[in-house]
Amino acid sequence: MGKNSETLFQRAQETIPGGVNSPVRAFKGVGGTPLFVDMAQGSRIFDADNLQYIDCVGSWGPMILGHGHRYVVEAVKKAATRGFSYGAPTLGEIELAEMIVQALPSIEMVRLVNSGTEATMSALRLARAATGRKKIIKFDGGYHGHVDSLLVKAGSGGATFNVPDSAGVPKEVTELTISVAFNDLDAVRTVIDKEVAAVIVEPVAGNMGCVPPSDGFLQGLRDLCTENGALLIFDEVMTGFRVAYGGAQSIFDIKPDITTLGKIIGGGMPIGAYGASKELMQLVSPLGPMYQAGTLSGNPVAVAAGKATLGVLKNSSIYADLEERSGEFETGVVKAAEKHGVPLTVNRAGSMWTIFFTEGPVTDYESANRSNRDKFARFFHLMLGEGVYLPPSQLEAAFFSAAHAKKDILQLIERADRVLKKIAWEFEK
């Protein structure tokens, strides 16, 4: 790691817990010092030592157009000159809401919030308000932000740092949460009953690494929810406008009752959203009795970035291009691993992917945890040395953007090939 990042990390630890404002950035899952970012452009990020990396994190998902897309930058500049925040409604919020409603037919009304965590917290409250029930079903390794009742067998940082159930959350709260294995419909069938308000699921899991749903899993959840009068919440904070413009629900053709969004709908600015039918959303204050509010909700600068991003994505060839390049990357890495004799599984849903160091298949949290973490950490650091920035944890998804050109993909394969050769020498003898 460069000298400037080291110095900044030492300094940061004096005033910021762990030196970071979100734990997964801290490199604790792979060891070493996090790189401090100076700037980013297109598919590249530059650190405080002016070292350049191909960025496969993309701010954990939002940067689907790449960094500094000129339309988004222009929209943000224009919005910023008109005032950062009014705490009053704007035309832009209506336009972004209309874009979301047009893209996801399961959503007739949408409320903008400031983060994915706020979105999922509000979605649970809405489900409980609508059903009058208390219990929630989630999945092991599923992560829906740091909502108290969802920090049960949580993925992402919770799993990476081995604190799947956070301290500071009363057991009376988590007693209402039931967590079962992802892709296991029988497990859901066993626990679902007439006290369950909602089943919340990432339709493509992204916080135990990338784990797509198995055939029939999401439809099975839809059916079980309907049969039991529970609501189905799709947490599409990661997959919304990522795996397709209409999210995972458009690909798998499932209509959830409530959808949560974030990341891409803010184009890299802080935002979140939850949406549902008019019937459900009419329960939300000021129309109905479910209270939820926010000073900065619908922030005009974030809304401008989101509208510009969705505007570029809509009716573009971006999703087809992303699929082609991501597929090429997957094939290249799998071939390189075979050539060097490194057992490895690449899970991928469009431009969202994870490399697991196991024969696989990786279908749930348990199988994701069979990945050899030492190999992953070594792979991560060797790739970093090759100028590639991957998510610093085995249990996270990586992302490509429209700015990742064919040339970038070829470079990534070449570098992964070199690195896998070293991994084979070090681990497979």
Determine if the peptide bond prior to 203 is cis (ω within 30°).
no
* Residue 348 CB, nearest approach to ligand HOZ (Å): 17
H or E element in which residue 424 lies:
helix 406-427
Six-digit token pair at 218? 């999401």
Q: Which of residues 192-251 bind ligand HOZ (CB under 6 A)?
A: 207
Six-digit token pair at 420? 């896998």
Contact 359, 342 (CB under 8 A): no
Q: For residues 131 and 260, which CB has a smaller minimum distance to ligand HOZ in the complex?
A: 260
- State yes or no: residue 157 binds ligand HOZ (CB under 6 A): yes
Q: Looking at beta carbons, which residue is closest to ligand HOZ?
A: 22
Catalytic residue of the set 153, 263, 307, 375: 263
Q: For residues 155 and 220, which CB has a smaller minimum distance to ligand HOZ in the complex?
A: 155
User: Site map for ligand HOZ, 86-125, x if CB under 6 A?
Assistant: ----------------------------------------
Q: Where are the alpha helices (DSSP H) in 179-242?
A: 185-191, 217-228
User: Site map for ligand HOZ, 39-78, x if CB under 6 A?
Assistant: ---------------------x------------------
Active site residue 186: no
Catalytic residue of the set 53, 143, 245, 319: 143
Q: Which of 127, 103, 128, 123 is nearest to 113 (CA)?
A: 123
Active site residue 263: yes
Backbone angles phi, psi at 269, to 5 degrees: -95, 155
Catalytic residue of the set 47, 184, 235, 408: 235
Q: For residues 61 and 298, which CB has a smaller minimum distance to ligand HOZ in the complex?
A: 61
Q: For residues 131 and 156, which CB has a smaller minimum distance to ligand HOZ in the complex?
A: 156
Interacting residues of 399 by C-beta distance below 8 A, sequence separation 6+: 56, 57, 58, 60, 61, 63, 64, 242, 351, 352, 353
* Residue 287 CB, nearest approach to ligand HOZ (Å): 30
State how far the Cα of 303 lies from the Cα of 415, in Å rounded to an integer: 38
State how far the Cα of 394 lies from the Cα of 364, in Å rounded to an integer: 13
Which residues of this chain interact with ligand HOZ, rule CB under 6 A? 22, 24, 60, 143, 156-157, 207, 396
Residues with a catalytic annotation lie at 143, 235, 263
